[in-house]
């Protein structure tokens, strides 16, 4: 008999609406316009990103999956974790590789999917309790910038942060994230994190500007979100998708570039936003790392590296332990 999953909600629809309004008001009124990438992911945006992960140019997802499939057993044996916490769990698809390995190791007891969408992780949680008899599923709806202290304790925990999501954070944001994570983890816990490595700029740009235009549509989708949610009147066709490698910062940048001088009205915020011809909205970064640099960043944040697994396509999976 499967146990019913439980869900703990720290982030409501009203919270998300307030965050959207604050981000848009501050980001589009700034001298250098920005929008955080979290607002890409309405239902359509999630579908488009799923399409991106299957593109030949976008190597990150397939490389990470290969690493998980090849090394999940070693991870389960070394960590001896009985609880898997996945930050940004989404549909919990990648979790299954780790859950299978922990079950085979004989340690699996509890799974904690952590995400901003209650409907997504609740649907996944109900499927998982049927597929893994005896598994306790405790879903947490929250923002990993604010609610890491709500992760349940007890036992030996493995905290997974996959999909190169860490790369969407600036160095300052990463430092804060690792600090908050270190505060809630013990020396019995383990961190499993996926990152992309620095490689040829041509390969990087292709991954974020595919020939079929799927990533361009994904980037522009954020404007459709604002049109729907904030009663804005963006003409999506008047913005070009731009992807470029910033060598100084070691990250890919995605931007939306206005192709004309134009004025956009956002009725819900009583805002009128002016765009010059060629003016950008900065929508996302995706930082790329080196092995030595990332190991040093982890150590500075309070983690010692246990093992690194690298895929031939230049993706890295790292297991680390808090050292104090």
Task: Give the CATH number for residue 68.
Answer: 3.40.50.150
Q: Confirm whether 15 is domain-assigned.
A: no
Give the span between the Cα atoms of 79 and 307, in whole angstroms: 11
Q: Confirm whether 122 is domain-assigned.
A: yes
- If you ran DSSP here, which 8-state letter would residue 191 be given? E
- Rg (C-alpha) for the chain, rounded Å, is 20
CB contact burial 122-140 (16+ within 10 A = b; e otherwise): bebbeebbeebeebbbbbb
Give the span between the Cα atoms of 223 and 244, in whole angstroms: 20
Burial of 154 (0-12, 13-18, 19+ CB in 10 A): exposed
pLDDT of residue 1: 45
What does each C-alpha distance from 316 to 143, 227, 261 come to in angstroms? 25, 38, 42
Number of domains the chain contains: 1
Q: Confirm whether 271 is domain-assigned.
A: no
Give the span between the Cα atoms of 94 and 69, in whole angstroms: 10
- Provide the domain limits for residue 178: 58-199+289-322
CB atoms within 10 A of CB 57: 17
Q: Confirm whether 45 is domain-assigned.
A: no
Convert the pLDDT of each residue in 223-263 to its tens digit: 999 999 999 999 999 999 999 999 999 999 999 999 999 99
Determine phi and psi for 212, rounding to 5 degrees.
-85, -5
pLDDT of residue 2: 53
pLDDT of residue 3: 74
Q: Confirm whether 65 is domain-assigned.
A: yes
Which stretches in the chain have pLDDT values below 50? 1
Q: Are 159 and 192 in contact (CB under 8 A)?
A: yes
What does each C-alpha distance from 138 to 84, 98, 125, 141, 145 come to in angstroms? 10, 16, 8, 10, 20
Q: Identify the residue whose tokens are 């409907």.
A: 119
Render 23-52 in DSSP notation, one character per residue. HHHHHHHSSSEE--GGGG-SHHHHHHHHHH
pLDDT of residue 120: 84
Largest CA distance in the chain: 62
Q: Confirm whether 209 is domain-assigned.
A: no
Q: Taking each helix axis from N to C terminus, what angle separates 60-79 and 95-105, rounded to the nearest 10 degrees? A: 20
- Report H helices in the chain: 13-29, 43-52, 60-79, 95-105, 118-131, 171-184, 201-208, 214-230, 291-300
Q: Confirm whether 256 is domain-assigned.
A: no
- This prediction has a pTM of 0.94
Q: Confirm whether 10 is domain-assigned.
A: no
3-state DSSP call for residue 240?
A: strand
Give the span between the Cα atoms of 170 and 194, in whole angstroms: 16
Give the span between the Cα atoms of 34 and 284, in whole angstroms: 9
For residue 228, what are the contacts with CB-CB under 8 A and spacing of at least 6? Answer: 42
């Amino acid at each position: 008999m499967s146990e019913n999953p439980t869900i703990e909600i720290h982030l409501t629809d009203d919270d998300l609406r307030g965050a959207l309004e604050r981000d848009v008001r501050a980001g589009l009124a700034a001298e250098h316009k920005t929008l955080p990438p979290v607002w890409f992911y309405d239902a359509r945006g999630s579908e488009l990103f799923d399409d991106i992960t299957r593109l030949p140019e976008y190597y990150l997802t397939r490389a990470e999956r290969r690493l998980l499939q090849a090394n999940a057993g070693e991870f389960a044996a070394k960590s001896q974790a009985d609880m898997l916490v996945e930050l940004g769990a989404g549909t919990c698809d990648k979790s299954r590789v780790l859950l299978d390995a922990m079950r085979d190791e004989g340690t699996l007891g509890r799974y904690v999917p952590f995400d901003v969408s209650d409907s997504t992780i609740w649907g996944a949680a109900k499927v998982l309790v049927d597929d893994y008899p005896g598994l306790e599923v405790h879903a947490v709806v929250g923002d990993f910038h604010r609610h890491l202290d709500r992760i349940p304790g007890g036992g030996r925990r493995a905290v997974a942060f996959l999909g190169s999501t860490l790369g969407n954070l600036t160095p300052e944001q990463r430092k804060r994230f690792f600090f908050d994570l270190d505060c809630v983890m013990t020396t019995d816990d383990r961190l499993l994190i996926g990152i992309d490595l620095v490689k040829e700029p041509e390969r990087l740009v292709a991954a974020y500007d595919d020939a079929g235009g799927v990533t361009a549509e994904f980037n522009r989708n954020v404007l459709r979100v604002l049109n729907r949610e904030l009663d804005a009147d963006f003409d999506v066709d008047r913005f070009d998708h731009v992807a470029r490698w910033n060598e100084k910062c070691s990250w890919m940048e995605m931007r939306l570039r206005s192709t004309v001088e134009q004025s956009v009205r956002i009725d819900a915020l009583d805002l009128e936003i002016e765009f010059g011809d060629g003016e950008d909205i900065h929508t996302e970064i995706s930082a790329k790392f080196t092995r030595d640099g990332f190991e040093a960043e982890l150590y500075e944040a309070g983690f010692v590296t246990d093992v690194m697994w690298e895929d031939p396509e230049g993706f890295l999976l790292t297991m680390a332990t808090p050292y104090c």
